[in-house]
Amino acid sequence: DIVVVGSINADLVVRVARHPQPGETLHGTGGGVSPGGKGANQALAAALLGGHVALVGAVGDDAHAEGALALLRASGADLDAVRTVPGPTGLAVVTVDARGENTIVVVPGANATMTAPSLDGDADTVSAARVVVLQGEIPRDGIERAASLCTGRLILNPAPVLDLDRDVLLAADPLVVNEYEAGLVLAQLVERPASPEDADAPEATLRALLAEGAASVVLTLGAAGALVGTRSGVDVDVEHVPAVAVDAVDTTGAGDAFTGALAVRLAAGDDLAAAARFAARVSALAVQREGAQPSYPSLEELG
Ligand code: ADP
């Protein structure tokens, strides 16, 4: 039902008292490698919630490949369309200091091979999907090709924001963005520089996205929940979906849990606001545990 076309990473996380200066060597702790990448995260979140999920992506022929897919494999997601290419698996090197501030270096590795021509062999898989889920961590032409193959419902989470075709942005139903991404996408659609006000006035930004032609938009607001905007003809409907009040331990990957959950419920035929309420419950569980993928709940845990 659900096909995710996107990135697969190994996340290497080290902890330091403070970030090193150029040329400096510091001792750190941690060093564990955990599975990540927005495509893999969203696919796992959806699979754990009972979605029938296939992931289209690429890993390298290195030692990180298996670990990057380990939780997905255990989840029962269909990984037949994950190919192994020469070179490194996508890698995110994360350094977290004592104040919790991080620096992140992302090496796209195999994800960079997810170009338009590389999707030739997966065209039938993508076009047969009820819901196709895309993010911004593979090359632009790969995202655009996947979007053009989609005959079902397209969920586009343009994170990070890249310069996508206007038609692709407007084909999304919904576009899933946080406050920062919403401002950047709006700036692209109206062809002007991004303004800090876009992030400060999320409802106005959401309405402006719909006015530009977006079919629907989910604008996530962290602990403040999400705004769900839908348009039919000239009618626009905006609903606030509150977050579930919890003590957050680690919000890494919360947005990906939210998007994966949204995909499951949209594939099952829920309306967008109902799907967003479910996604808020799922991501509230995810923020109460460390990490991204290891924090994602199963249907049973949701109760
Ligand atoms: P991103 O990580 O993409 O910026 P957000 O931070 O907006 O995404 O989080 C996505 C969703 O996760 C929110 O809409 C909310 O439902 C949930 N969420 C995030 N942070 C919290 C929190 N501290 N408490 C409860 N829910 C949260």
* Cβ 205 vs Cβ 184: under 8 Å: no
Give pairs for 193-199: CB < 8 Å, separation 24+. Answer: none
Give pLDDT tens digits for 200-226.
799 999 999 999 999 999 999 999 999
Which residue blocks in 157-253 are alpha helix, DSSP H?
166-171, 179-190, 196-200, 202-211
Q: Which ligand 1 atom minimizes the distance to the CA of 159?
A: 3
Q: Which residues are annotated as a binding site for K(+)?
A: 250, 252, 286, 289, 291, 295
What b/e string do you get for 81-98 counting C-beta neighbours within 10 Å, with b at 16 or more?
bbbebeebbbbbebbbee
Give pLDDT tens digits for 159-212.
999 999 999 999 999 999 999 999 999 999 998 888 877 767 999 999 999 999
Q: How many CB atoms lie within 10 A of CB 244?
A: 15
Give pLDDT tens digits for 73-97.
999 999 999 999 999 999 999 999 9
- Residues in the ligand 1 pocket, defined by CB under 6 Å: 178, 220-223, 225-226, 243-244, 246, 248, 251, 254-255, 258, 280, 283-284, 287
Helices 254-267 & 272-286 angle (0-180, nearest 10): 140
Please tell me whether the interface predicted TM-score (ipTM) of this complex is above 0.90.
yes
Confidence of residue 124 (pLDDT cuts 50, 70, 90): very high
Which residue carries 């006000």 as its tokens? 197
Q: Which ligand 1 atom minimizes the distance to the CA of 253?
A: 2
pTM over 0.90: yes
